[in-house]
């Protein structure tokens, strides 16, 4: 049995098991696009400031059609403060911060580059 999981093609059951082991909440976070390809879940935590806005732009420019991007403006907060709960769950203590498929990117303690995003599987 094989499952089409990403733009890189068909993944074997062994690779799927490794993916599921890496992903912290695999059943909760899967979103399929129209081609049944699992989309990257990208969450950007921001304060809507001049430091954060270029990072939001960089994520949007780098992402491709297989990325689902959610931007949380922590100043405006969000419905029922779910973004604050997510921020606490991920251990975020500075903005901007980026979470991909449930994992906080290691680059979020310094300047975030396009290469950091590509290394995390955002875009090509």
Which has more confidence, 31 or 25? Answer: 31
Q: Return phi, psi of residue 105, to 5°.
A: -65, 140
- Domain 2-119: assigned CATH number: 3.40.30.10
State pLDDT tens for residues 52-87.
999 999 999 999 988 999 999 988 877 778 888 899
pTM higher than 0.75 = no
Amino acid 116: pLDDT = 86
Consecutive H or E run containing 12: strand 9-12
User: Which pLDDT belongs to residue 9?
Assistant: 44
In whole angstroms, give the CA distance from residue 56 to residue 44.
7
pLDDT-derived band at 10, boundaries 50, 70, 90: very low
Write down the pLDDT at residue 124: 66
- Please list, in sequence order, all residues whose beta carbon lies within 8 angstroms of the beta carbon of residue 5, skipping any fewer than 6 positions away: 11, 15, 16, 19, 37, 38
Mean pLDDT in residue range 13-20? 54
The confidence score (pLDDT) of residue 20 equals 54
Q: Where are the domains of the chain?
A: 2-119
The three-class DSSP label of residue 45 is strand
- 31 pLDDT band (50/70/90 cuts)? low
How high is the pLDDT of residue 28?
Answer: 44
């Amino acid at each position: 049995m094989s499952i089409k999981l990403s733009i890189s093609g068909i993944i074997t059951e062994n690779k799927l098991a490794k993916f599921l082991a890496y992903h912290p909440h695999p059943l909760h976070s899967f979103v399929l696009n129209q081609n049944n390809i699992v989309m990257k879940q990208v969450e950007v935590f921001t304060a809507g400031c001049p430091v954060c806005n270029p990072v939001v732009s960089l994520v949007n420019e780098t992402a491709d059609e297989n990325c689902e991007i959610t931007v949380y403006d922590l100043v405006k907060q969000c419905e029922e403060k779910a973004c604050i709960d997510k921020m606490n769950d991920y251990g975020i203590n500075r903005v901007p911060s980026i979470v991909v498929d449930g994992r906080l990117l290691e680059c979020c303690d310094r300047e975030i580059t396009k290469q950091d995003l590509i290394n995390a599987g955002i875009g090509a």
